[in-house]
């Protein structure tokens, strides 16, 4: 098959920086057996093309990106026809995919992998905050031949909107994250890790307030926070205000190779997001035997209570209590780690690619029957 994948970005030519690792894993697997063209709406400001993971990346760049993306798909289709168009993320990517597919008479798929279905006005986040976004999503999700969601809660949200969807998690590459058997803690000070960009939707203030509760209770812990700072030092300031300098390190961005030893050394991943389709880092942590405590979003919600612990969004007291309980019950922590690892290994990057390929065959077969 010849596939057109539409993505917002995450496919930098370096393969290390400004990338979405699970997206690269999917592209590489599809490109083993198919001709894959990735149309990135804005990886770089200027239009360009490059090879990555066995695929051809067409960077659309600034200015009328949706219109020019549709034109680029059409141009490549004229050179040699595509079999289908697949958007990873809805929003502008979904709109480009379904519009190009309709124009060319092709089937389309749209995968919900972020905040396309939510409207969080207090933090200015989500694809449904304004009427234009709600209209766009209504059109895109009903025009797509197949809609998929990254986790059970996303599929439930789609169902509430009247959209039938399939659950297809974006699994991790187990070559990059080779599984390690869960390990017993060998140190009195718990090693915690949080991996996410510092931004409003990841809600690091809830995380830090939970850590402040643990510190006041005398829990011995150290927290590594890994992620790009998009808040101009607000999180750093809050660390100082809460007197957490002795407990917390803010490490900034790390490549996957740099992140992995930090993750392997951790006892617990802690997430505090207001919304997630994943989070994908939960799957990476699970692969190397590290369980997760976090807010009830995405995979954390669907894996709780056996393979993760979920607490209400924004409730730092509940988050602190859950962390303390897991750290004080080593058999439970190890049971969670083992259950999470099983899930991560069963739904890895190979599983994701095979699931999408099965849907490709289904939609193409359905088209032949019409």
> How confident is the model at residue 291, as a pLDDT?
98
Q: Is the pLDDT of residue 370 over 80?
A: no
Same domain, 202 and 163: no
Same domain, 143 and 159: yes
The rounded distance, in Å, linking the Cα atoms of 72 and 47 is 11
> How confident is the model at residue 239, as a pLDDT?
97
Cβ atoms of 299 and 308 within 8 Å: the answer is yes
Q: Which residues are within 8 A (CB) of 59 and not within 5 positions of it... i.e. 6 or more apart?
A: 40, 42, 43, 44, 46, 47, 48, 49, 50
Give the residue carrying structure tokens 């083993």. Answer: 32
Q: Which residues are within 8 A (CB) of 100 and not within 5 positions of it... i.e. 6 or more apart?
A: 4, 6, 69, 70, 73, 74, 85, 106, 108
> How confident is the model at residue 275, as a pLDDT?
96
The rounded distance, in Å, linking the Cα atoms of 80 and 76 is 6
> How confident is the model at residue 186, as a pLDDT?
85
> How confident is the model at residue 368, as a pLDDT?
66
Question: What mean pLDDT is predicted for residues 152-173?
Answer: 95
**What share of the chain has pLDDT > 90, as a percent?**
96
3-state SS class at 312: coil
Q: Cα-atom radius of gyration of the chain, to the nearest Å?
A: 21
Question: What mean pLDDT is predicted for residues 92-116?
Answer: 96
Range of the domain at 207: 190-346
Same domain, 200 and 300: yes
Same domain, 80 and 143: yes
What is the overall mean pLDDT for the chain?
96
- What CATH number did the domain enclosing 157 receive? 3.40.50.2000
Same domain, 26 and 125: yes
Same domain, 66 and 98: yes
Is residue 176 assigned to a domain?
no
Is residue 252 assigned to a domain?
yes
Is residue 177 assigned to a domain?
no
Burial class (CB in 10 A: 0-12, 13-18, 19+), 351: middle
Q: Which residues are within 8 A (CB) of 96 and not within 5 positions of it... i.e. 6 or more apart?
A: 6, 39, 41, 66, 69, 70, 73, 87
Is residue 283 assigned to a domain?
yes
**Nearest Cα residue to 165 out of 155, 152, 154:** 155
Q: Is the pLDDT of residue 14 over 70?
A: yes
Same domain, 356 and 341: no
- Total tally of structural domains belonging to the chain: 2
> How confident is the model at residue 255, as a pLDDT?
93
Same domain, 59 and 76: yes
Residue 358 DSSP code: H
Is residue 163 assigned to a domain?
yes
> How confident is the model at residue 301, as a pLDDT?
97
Same domain, 15 and 119: yes
Is residue 181 assigned to a domain?
no
**What share of the chain has pLDDT > 70, as a percent?**
99
pLDDT digits (tens, 9 = 90+) for 286-337: 999 999 999 999 999 999 999 999 999 999 999 999 999 999 999 999 999 9
Is residue 195 assigned to a domain?
yes
Same domain, 304 and 328: yes
Burial class (CB in 10 A: 0-12, 13-18, 19+), 71: middle
Is residue 178 assigned to a domain?
no
Residue 122 DSSP code: G
> How confident is the model at residue 369, as a pLDDT?
62
Question: What mean pLDDT is predicted for residues 212-216?
Answer: 97
Lowest mean pLDDT among 86-90, 125-129, 164-168, 266-270: 125-129
Same domain, 42 and 96: yes
> How confident is the model at residue 111, as a pLDDT?
97
Same domain, 101 and 199: no
> How confident is the model at residue 366, as a pLDDT?
83
3-state SS class at 242: coil
Q: Is the pLDDT of residue 342 over 60?
A: yes
């Amino acid at each position: 098959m010849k596939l057109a994948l539409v993505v917002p970005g995450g496919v930098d030519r370096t393969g290390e920086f400004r990338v979405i690792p699970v997206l690269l894993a999917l592209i590489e697997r599809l490109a083993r057996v198919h001709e894959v063209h990735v149309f990135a709406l804005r990886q770089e400001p200027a239009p360009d093309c490059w090879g990555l993971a066995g695929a051809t990346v067409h960077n659309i760049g600034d200015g009328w990106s949706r219109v020019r993306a549709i034109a680029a798909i059409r141009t490549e289709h004229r050179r040699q026809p595509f079999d289908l168009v697949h958007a990873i993320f809805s929003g502008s990517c979904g709109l480009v995919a379904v519009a190009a597919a309709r124009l060319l008479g092709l089937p389309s798929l749209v995968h919900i992998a972020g905040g396309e279905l939510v409207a969080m006005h207090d933090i200015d986040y989500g694809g449904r905050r304004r009427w234009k976004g709600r209209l766009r999503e209504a059109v895109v999700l009903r025009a797509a031949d197949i809609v998929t969601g990254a986790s059970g809660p996303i599929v439930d949200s789609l169902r509430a909107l009247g959209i039938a969807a399939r659950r297809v998690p974006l699994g991790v590459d187990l070559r990059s994250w080779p599984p390690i058997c869960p390990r017993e803690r060998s140190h009195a000070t718990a090693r915690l890790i949080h991996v996410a960009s510092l931004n409003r939707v990841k809600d690091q203030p809830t995380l830090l307030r939970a850590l402040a509760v643990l510190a006041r209770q005398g829990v011995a812990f150290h927290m590594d926070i890994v992620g790009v700072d998009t808040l101009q030092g607000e999180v750093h300031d809050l660390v100082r205000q809460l007197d957490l300098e002795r407990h917390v390190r803010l490490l900034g961005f790390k490549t996957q190779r740099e992140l992995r030893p930090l993750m392997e050394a951790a006892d617990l991943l802690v997430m505090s997001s207001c919304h997630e389709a994943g989070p994908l880092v939960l799957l990476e942590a699970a692969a190397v035997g590290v369980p997760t405590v976090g807010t009830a979003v995405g995979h954390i919600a669907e894996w709780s209570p056996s393979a993760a612990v979920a607490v209400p969004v924004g409730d730092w007291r509940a988050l602190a209590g859950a962390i303390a309980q897991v750290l004080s019950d080593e058999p439970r922590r190890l049971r969670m780690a083992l259950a999470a690892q099983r899930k991560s290994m069963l739904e890895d990057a190979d599983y994701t690619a095979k699931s999408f390929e099965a849907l490709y065959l289904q939609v193409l077969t359905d088209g032949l029957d019409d």
